[in-house]
Amino acid sequence: AQKVTQAQTEISVVEKEDVTLDCVYETRDTTYYLFWYKQPPSGELVFLIRRNSFDEQNEISGRYSWNFQKSTSSFNFTITASQVVDSAVYFCALSEAHNYGQNFVFGPGTRLSVLP
């Protein structure tokens, strides 16, 4: 069975601080996909990144970076020099290849508050 854990329920940082959101997953598949989504106060989920299990290269996109480590089943997300607009709930999600196109499993989310 697949499972996603986001142990941090809420995080508060001051603007310009760096912050890392943790994501740990469980799967028996060797082929799977990991995702991060952002849900701002407006409520609409925004796709941030997809990573497949064969690509362990870290990804950087502007102030965002992702660290995928299969050895620890983690896919952590770091925001560098955080801004107030980064305040949102962030969800990590997993989809197994054998359930191709079928249900995602989402973590419970981490609420990030960036204070000015």
Partner 1 sequence: GAGVSQSPSNKVTEKGKDVELRCDPISGHTALYWYRQSLGQGLEFLIYFQGNSAPDKSGLPSDRFSAERTGGSVSTLTIQRTQQEDSAVYLCASSSSGPSQYNEQFFGPGTRLTVL
Segment near partner 1 (CB under 8 A); pick from 19-27, 53-61, 67-75, 95-103: 95-103
3-state helix vs strand vs coil in the chain, percent to 5: 10, 55, 40
- Judged by CB under 8 A, the chain residues 45 through 64 that form the site for partner 1 are 45-47, 50, 52
Q: What radius of gyration, in Å, describes the C-alpha atoms of the chain?
A: 14
Question: How many residues sit in the footprint of partner 1 (CB under 8 A)?
Answer: 24
Alpha-carbon gap, residue 48 to 54, rounded angstroms: 19
Scanning the structure block, which residue is given the tokens 């962030």?
A: 90
Min dist. Cβ of residue 47 to partner 1 (A): 4
SS3 95: strand
**Interactions with partner 1, residue window 3-42 (CB under 8 A):** 33, 35, 37, 42
Binding site for partner 1 (CB under 8 A): 33, 35, 37, 42-47, 50, 52, 91, 95, 97, 100-109
